[in-house]
Chains A and B, each alone.
Chain A
Amino acid sequence: MSVATQGTASNYLQRAPSPSGLADVIDLILDKGLVIDAFVRVAVIGIELVTIDARIVIASVDTYLRFAEAVNRLDLAQTENAKGIDELTDGGEKVKDKAKGAVEGIKEKVTGSNGKS
């Protein structure tokens, strides 16, 4: 549930009163909140997988070539104009999809470590 605010900033500030999807929720409850060690029944090992979508830009040949390609492909005349909201929304979806993948990963880990499903 999210509502864009009114006014000139509306395209660029999304305002949500509560977490609006799995990606948001994972950020809030997996390695946050009070943790009482002896009673946590989800294998902590799976939680690291949440950071699949959280990669820092690292200096690598692959990153450099990807950036070079992206910059070469830029249509500067077009990007001078304001970006459409469609493309921005698309960016958000990508993050969500990756987070979904992370949770699948957790399921696998947890199921595996319990030895049953």
Chain B
Amino acid sequence: MSPTVTEAPAYVYGVTWADGARTDARGVGDASVRVLEHGELAALVSDIPSPDIRAKRRDLLRHADVLQQAFEQRTVVPLGFGTVFDSGDDVVAELLEPRYEELVSLLQELDGLVELTLRAFYDDQAVLAAIVHDDPQIAALRGLSGQGAQMALGEAVSRALADRRNRDADEIVAELSSLSREVVVEERVAEFELVRAAFLVDRPAVEELETCAEQLAERHGGVVRFKLTGPLPPHHFVSERWAS
């Protein structure tokens, strides 16, 4: 226990370069966020009344906002939601100091890079219509009565949808990957979702990636809806776990 300065538990959002780091954001629990410097590094922290965090809607949004705001000024290593140290002093003593070299090299590696996320969803009616249109066997089963015919129809549609999803997802991810340094593709997607992925790109390449997404959206127009978000801090690309 340090006898000086803050004794309140300190919530940490991320680590950035000390040079140029400043913030006027409000953080978890509406507390003001401050910059805690140590050498070249700065942690973005705010006091919280209790170390027990509940994942409340507003606080989740605040965590992302604080990182987004900091990222718009300097490179940021984002921390996952819910990291709390016993005090501001402990943030230095247990994170910035012992992990100094690692954090510096992480920031150096990430300098000039941004994350963009892409989600792509089928319009359910449109994709089912396309499947019926493309497969005479499915078209023939459609409207037949009886449990057996219905099961056969459903199974054929399910298989056709899976094939189409794999084909479309591979194409979309491959095109966007060709403009990216690294890619994370989520395996788990919603029923009519075909891509949920994050792309790490050089900042100057953002525009190219946007153009590529626009072309994909045009090509799949009417059947696939795309959502491209960013530039974001590299949330998906520092997903390491540190034991201490």
Contacts and interface: CB of A to CB of B under 8 A. Distances in A.
Nearest to A117: B54
Contact of B125 (A9, A34, A46, A79): A79
Interface of A: 2, 5, 7-9, 11-20, 22, 24-42, 46, 51, 53-57, 59, 61, 63-72, 74, 76, 79-80, 82-83, 87-88, 91-92, 95, 98, 100, 103, 106-107, 110-111, 114, 116-117
A103 B57 contact: yes
Contacts of A61: 151
A13 B214 contact: yes
A32 B234 CA distance: 9
Contact of B78 (A11, A12, A33, A51): A33
Interface string B137-165: 01000110000001101110110011000
Given A16-B227, A35-B242, A42-B53, A29 B151 contact: no
Given A29-B63, A32-B236, A54 B188 contact: yes
Contacts of B181: none
Contacts of A92: 121, 225, 227
A27 B64 CA distance: 11
Contacts of A80: 129
Given A33-B235, A87-B125, A82 B222 contact: yes
